[in-house]
Amino acid sequence: MAYIRTVKRKKGTIYKAEIRLHGHPPLYQTFDRLSEAQRWVEDTEATLRSGGYIGDTPLDDMAFGKALDRYELEVSSQKRPNTRSREITSANTLRIFFAGLSLKEITPARVAAFRDKRLKTVGPSTIQKDLALLSHLFTIARTEWAMEVNNPVASIRKPAKPDGRLRLLSKNEARHLLEICKKSRNGKLYPYVQLLLHTGMRPSEAAGLIWGQVDIDARIIDLTITKTKPRRVPLTIMAIEILLQIMPEQWDKSLPVFLPLKISSTIRRRPNLFFRRAFDNAVKKAKIENFHMHDLRHTAASYLLMAGVDLRTLADILGHSTMQMVQRYTHLLDDHKLKAVDRIEGLGL
């Protein structure tokens, strides 16, 4: 696609032309006349589409650190905040391990060594994210930066992803945990945990809410920035009551629901960290073992399913992009299925 933008300045008007074509780096040029800008756009697009190259000779190689910088600027910066934050963490790890190397010097053997070293300190899921970023960087370098580099990640074994963890709260555990949360020094912990249990939202989604996303009358929360696609989360009557209790008298749609007005950049990227210490302390005091904040989402999902909610609706509520993500909850229906078939045990007798 080509764009020509008119910019008015004190010394006259100039025309900024831009060309973005898949498989080529973006091209920019400034002209004093519109006709010149139009001619450049037409000629340049024709050259690119015919297989020609515009600009400097394509780089034969690039320092890995410089490639990461360019990737973060052109690719990561366009992604959702949570994804961008995660990629920054992976990029920092990769930057340290492959420091001083160029792209062509990063061989499959070196990537395998990185994988094996990381396996000693982190889980397979983290390494998969690191390798996914590294792999995409090489793909971008080849397809968009016109570099003759091979992807070293493509030929190595990836660490097996562990089975999805599923730890749920019993009703008694949930009741006891909420009683402890009420006594927390963090005054918003109790309504925060309650809302997670009644909506199944991701911890970061709930923690980062602003009042403009909450529609009390319609009983929905509008999640416009999420891990996957935007969705509308339905609210129970209890969830509405929770939100009404903490709603400020001077209501403003830009005000945060849970967070203070002044927060660090780290909390801004991962809002749930504001509650991490208080939540972990509450779990410890409640003597609930092997339970993490994200398990509140699993708990909500499981109870919804056992209450009769179908898998498609559950996937929509949780914001899962595939049905595979909610299939792991189906074993919880085994008892329900047994009770159902018991109703016809006398058939034919």
CA distance 92 to 140: 18
- The pLDDT, as a whole number, for residue 288 is 92
pLDDT tens digits for 90-106? Answer: 999 999 999 999 999 99
Summarised one tens digit per residue, pLDDT across range 138-150 is: 999 988 888 888 9
CATH architecture of 64-143: Orthogonal Bundle (1.10)
Question: Strand, coil or helix: what is 61?
Answer: coil
CA torsion sign for 122, 123, 124, 130 is negative
Q: Where are the domains of the chain?
A: 2-49, 64-143, 171-337
Per DSSP bridges, beta strands 12-19 and 2-9 are antiparallel
pLDDT above 70: percentage of residues in the chain: 85
Same fold, 64-143 and 171-337: no
pTM of the model: 0.59
What pLDDT sits at residue 144?
A: 87
Work out the pLDDT band at 338, boundaries 50, 70, 90. low
Output 277-282 pairs: Cβ under 8 A, ≥24 positions apart: 278/184, 278/185, 278/186, 278/189, 279/181, 279/189, 279/193, 281/184, 282/177, 282/180, 282/181, 282/184, 282/189, 282/193
Question: What is the residue whose two structure tokens read 């983290």?
Answer: 126
Superfamily designation of domain 171-337: Intergrase catalytic core (1.10.443.10)
Tens of pLDDT, residue by residue over 262-290, are 888 888 888 999 999 999 999 999 999 98
More confident residue, 36 or 330: 36
- Per-residue confidence (pLDDT) for residue 186, from 0 to 100: 94
Q: Position 105: which residue type? A: E
pLDDT at residue 57, rounded to an integer: 46
Beta bridge partners of 16: 5, 30
- Tens of pLDDT, residue by residue over 306-327, are 777 877 887 788 877 666 666 6
pLDDT-based confidence at residue 31 (cuts at 50, 70, 90)? confident
If you ran DSSP here, which 8-state letter would residue 248 be given? -
Residue type, 336: H
Backbone φ and ψ of 145, nearest 5°: -100, 5
DSSP 261: S
Longest dimension (CA), the chain: 98
- Those residues whose C-beta lies under 8 Å from the C-beta of residue 206, and which sit 6 or more positions away, are 192, 195, 196, 199, 258, 272
- Encoding tokens for residue 169? 């709260």
> Looking at the chain, which runs of residues are DSSP E strands?
2-9, 12-19, 27-31, 214-215, 220-223, 231-234
- Per-residue tokens: 112: 């395998």
Q: What rounded mean pLDDT belongs to the chain? A: 84
